[in-house]
Amino acid sequence: MNRRYRKTIIAGNWKMNKTPSEAKALIEEMKGMLSKTKWCEVVLCVPFTDIQTAVKAAKGSKIAIGAENMHFEKSGAFTGEVSADMLKELGVKYVIIGHSERRQYFNETDETCNKKVKVAIENGLRPILCVGESLTEREQDVTMEVIRKQVKIALQGVTVDEAKKVVIAYEPIWAIGTGKTATSEQAGEVCAKIRDCLREMYGARAARAITIQYGGSMNAKNAAELLAQPDVDGGLIGGASLKAPDFAAIVDAANQN
Ligand code: PGA
C-alpha cells in the first residue's frame, strides 16, 4: 500500500452466493465489525438480485455496494442483461469488469471489457478491471505479456482523467478459489509491473494514483503480508468475503499503520 498517493480499497466479490435475506443478515453482521475503516474504502460486489437490499442494509456505514458485471449497451434486446444506468439508479458505486470466471464461462474478451470500462465510467461507476494469467501462462513465462495485453486493450480510448477512476485487480487465475495464494513477492512484482504499464500509458502522476488490488485466496491470515507490498493497494476477495469475521480481519489489516 502507499496511502500517500492512492486509496486502499478492500472489495468483496460474493459471486453467485447469498439470497437477499442472507445478504441483509451478512451486511448487518459486517457493519458491527467494521469499526476501523479510516484508511481504506470497503466495497461489497453482490449479485444483481441482492443490490437493492444490500444498498439499504449498508446505508449509514462505510460499505459501498458494487455489481459483479454489467452490459455495455444502454438498453435493448439483450435478454438477461443489466445496464450501467440500471445499476446507477440503485445506488451502485463499483462494478467488476472482466472477472476471469466471466472470461472463462461467458466469453468475455478484452474488447468487451474495454466497452464496459468506458460505459461504467460514463455512468459514474468505478470499474474494477480484473486481469491475470493462467497457470500455463505463468509456467510458459508469459505472465506480463498476457497482463499487459489485457490492461492495454481494456483501457483503449480511456483518457488519463478517466483512468484514475479505474481500479485494477490482479488476479492470477491459478490462485482464485484454490486456496493457493500468490506469494507476496509474486503479487507485488506483477502489481508493480502493471503500474509500469500504466506509467507508459498515462504518465507517472496518474500511474501512482491508480489503485491496484490483488485477488486470489486472500484471507485473514495472508492479507497483511500481501498489503505490505508497496504496489498492492487492496484486495478483491471471494471466499473470505462471505464470512463477516474473515472480511473484517482483512479490512483491519488494511487499516494498520
Ligand atoms: P477467492 O476469489 O478470494 O475466493 O480466491 C477471488 C476472486 O475471484 O475475486
Best probe residue, ligand 1, of 171, 213, 219 (max atoms within 8 Å of C-beta): 171
Tell me which residue of 167, 187, 158 sits closest to 175, measured CA to CA.
187
Q: DSSP per residue over 97-148, as a string?
A: ES-HHHHHHS---HHHHHHHHHHHHHTTPEEEEEE---HHHHHTT-HHHHHH
What CA–CA distance (Å, rounded) separates 168 from 40?
16
What residue has cell string 467494521?
34
Helix, strand, or coil here: 8?
Answer: strand
Atom of ligand 1 nearest to the CA of 215: 6
Residue nearest to atom 3 of ligand 1 (CA): 238
Q: For the whole model, what pTM was predicted?
A: 0.97
Measured by CA distance, the residue closest to atom 6 of ligand 1 is 238
Ligand 1 atom nearest the C-alpha of 176 is: 5
SS3 assignment, position 44: strand
CB within 6 Å of ligand 1 — which residues?
13, 171, 176-177, 215-218, 236-240
Q: Which pairing describes strands 40-46 and 94-97: parallel, antiparallel, or unpaired?
A: unpaired
139 burial level (CB within 10 Å; 0-12, 13-18, 19+): exposed
The per-residue pLDDT for 257 is 64
Active-site residues, by number, are 99, 171
Q: Which CATH code fits 26-31+40-61+81-254?
A: 3.20.20.70
Distance CA 232, CA 216 (A): 13
Amino acid 36: pLDDT: 66
Nearest CA to ligand 1 atom 2: 238
Burial of 152 (C-beta count, 10 Å sphere; 0-12/13-18/19+): middle
* Nearest residue by C-alpha to atom 1 in ligand 1: 238
Q: In order along the chain (257 residues), what is the average pLDDT of each group of 10 residues?
A: 92 98 97 82 98 97 97 97 98 98 97 98 98 96 98 98 98 90 94 98 98 96 96 97 97 87
Domain ranges of the chain: 26-31+40-61+81-254
Atom of ligand 1 nearest to the CA of 239: 4
